[in-house]
Structures are given as structure tokens and as C-alpha cells.
Structure 1
Amino acid sequence: MPKQSSNKLSGKSPKKRHKFFLNPYNDCAFTKCPKCDTKTKVRKFPLVIFIESKQLFILNKQCKYCSVCDLIITKKQELEALTAIGMSQSNPHIIGNDYLVMGTVDRKDWKEGSQNALPLPDLIERMYVFKDVWDFDIIPAGWYPNDEK
């Protein structure tokens, strides 16, 4: 029997790595982790983005990263702008479509994919989906009574 390459087809559960937060706030850079208050670092991650109309796109993007929480934070506005630039040549009609940041791939897989187009089943096989997707609400700075914190 031939080996099937897709996790879904082969019955394997997807590999998971990292937690993710898509930062919708223009004025908040998250220099500290919103969960544990540890100083974040800047690291590049090859993010796998699914764009409506069945298009997968890998974007090697600088993100804020908390090593304590294993949390990747990326600004929504930056992600959308870079994705639009990346799609403007190859697939301009999908710019502005809904999208989902699904996970990451290893750097060697990103390099291989940028040099040769990786077949979709291979990309899915190599992808790490996020363990969890977090959302945070920003509380403006100021004085608050103890019961409102």
C-alpha cells in the first residue's frame, strides 16, 4: 500500500508547536509578554498562512517572541501588508481575502519552498500547527480601584 503524505490522510495527528497571538492593536508593540510579563525577543518565523480560495503562503516574518510562554506575537497590519506584497505578483486577485495563520515550518523547509515550489501535501506534512491561539484585551494605563483590575 502506498504511503500517504497528508497528516489527515495518513491518520496522524498534526505536529504542534508554539502558541500564537495576532496583534490587532496599532499602538501596542508588546515589548513584554501579555501573559507572564517577561521581556519579549524579536525572532523570525516562517509562518504558514491560508488565504481564502485555497492558497497557502509562507511568510518569513519578524515577530515578538516570549520563550517562557512559547508565544509568537505578530502585528496584524504588518502581516496583511507583507502578504499583499507577496501575492501582488503571483496571485493579485486574492489580496484582501480572509486568511488564517495556521502555524510554522522549519527554516530549512521554508528555504526549500522558496527555491522550489513544495507540493501542497509535502508542505502540510512538514507544517507545525499552533498549540493554541490566544487573544488579549488591552487595558489602558491609569489608576483603577482594586476591584476593577
Structure 2
Amino acid sequence: MPRNSSNKSKGVKPRKRHKFFLNPYEDSAFTKCPKCETKTKIRKIPLVIHIDPHQLFLLNKQCRYCPNCDLIITKKQEIESLLAISFSQSHPEFIGNEYLVMGTLDRQDWQAGNKGTLAPEKIIEQMYIFKDVWNFEVIPAGWYPANEK
């Protein structure tokens, strides 16, 4: 029987932390949490991004964070522009490819990955995948009848 080195075969559950919202709205910064409406904080969070085909990208990015909901909010437009800038010289073929923000890393793992001392397989093992990915619809401000709220 061939050996399978995936976490599922070892019985190890993936590590999970935080909920995540990739904000597609250019004009909405979500200074208040869209779920609980408390003010969001700004935190630098090491994100792990998978770019098709088979490319991991580590990004230590300022994100909005709601401690009450454990929700990370980051703007899609900012991620895409940072990816384009990062790959414009070294790998222009990755620009515009599909990508997925997979999870977060502890700061020391992000630093090791950035220096190249942490192999991609180890990054995947050390990564925290998101507990859940949320989507929110922005409703323009204004007056609405009570039955339409």
C-alpha cells in the first residue's frame, strides 16, 4: 500500500483560526464590523495566498480585524495590486491568475518562509486555515421603509 503523507491519513486535523472576508467593494472600508457593528482594529496579519498554478505567496498585510467576531477583512483590490507589483519583475506570468487567500501563519513562520528557510510543505503544515469565509452585501445608506430593512 503506498504511503500517503497528507494530514488526513495521519489523523491530524487542519489547524483553524479566524474567519475571513475578502472585501470586493472599493468604496467600503468596513471601519465597523459588518456582523456585530463594533469598530474594527487594524492589524498586520501574515496571509498565505495560493496562486494558480502551484505558487505560494506570503504577505504580511494590514487588515481590518474584529476581535469580537474574530474576523479578518482585507480589500481584494489591495491584494491584487500587491500581487501584481510583487510578480511584475520576477514572474509576470502569474499576474492575473486565479488566487485564493488560504489562511494565516504565526509571525515567526512567516519570517522563516520569507527568508526561504521554511519549505512550502512546511508552510502548509504550519498554516492556520480559516474557520469560515464570510460574504457581506453593502446596502447603500439612505431611508428605507420598515418592511425593507
Q: Taking structure 1 as the reference length, what is the TM-score of the superposition?
A: 0.92
Match of 1:40 in 2: 40
For 1:63, the equivalent position in structure 2 comes to 63
Deviation digits for residues 68-100 of structure 1 (CA, Å, limit 9, x no counterpart): 000000000001011112222332211100011
| Residue 54 (structure 1) aligns with | 54
Name the CA distance, whole Å, in 1 between partners of 2:6 and 2:111: 20
Q: What SS is found at the alignment partner of 2:93?
A: helix
CA shift at 1:36, angstroms? 0.1
Structure 2 SS opposite 1:16: coil
Q: How has the CA–CA distance of structure 1 residues 39 and 12 changed in structure 2, closer, same or farther, with 3 Å as cutoff?
A: same
Match of 1:92 in 2: 92
When the two chains are superposed, the root-mean-square deviation of aligned CA atoms in Å is 1.5
Q: 1:76 to 1:24 in 2, by over 3 A?
A: same
User: Which runs of structure 1 show a deviation greater than 4 angstroms over 4 or more consecutive aligned residues?
Assistant: none
Counterpart in 2 of 1:141? 141
* % identical equivalent positions: 67
Distance in 1 of aligned mates of 2:48 and 2:79: 11
Is the contact made by 1:17 and 1:129 (CA closer than 8 Å) also made in structure 2? Answer: yes
Unaligned stretches of 5+ residues in structure 2: none
Q: Report the more deviating stretch, 109-118 or 96-105.
A: 109-118
Measure the CA separation in 1 of the matches of 2:13 and 2:129. 10
Q: Normalised by the size of structure 2, how large is the TM-score? A: 0.92
Q: Which runs of 5+ in 1 are unaligned?
A: none
Q: Does 1:18 align with 2:32?
A: no
Counterpart Cα distance in 2 of 1:95 and 1:117: 25
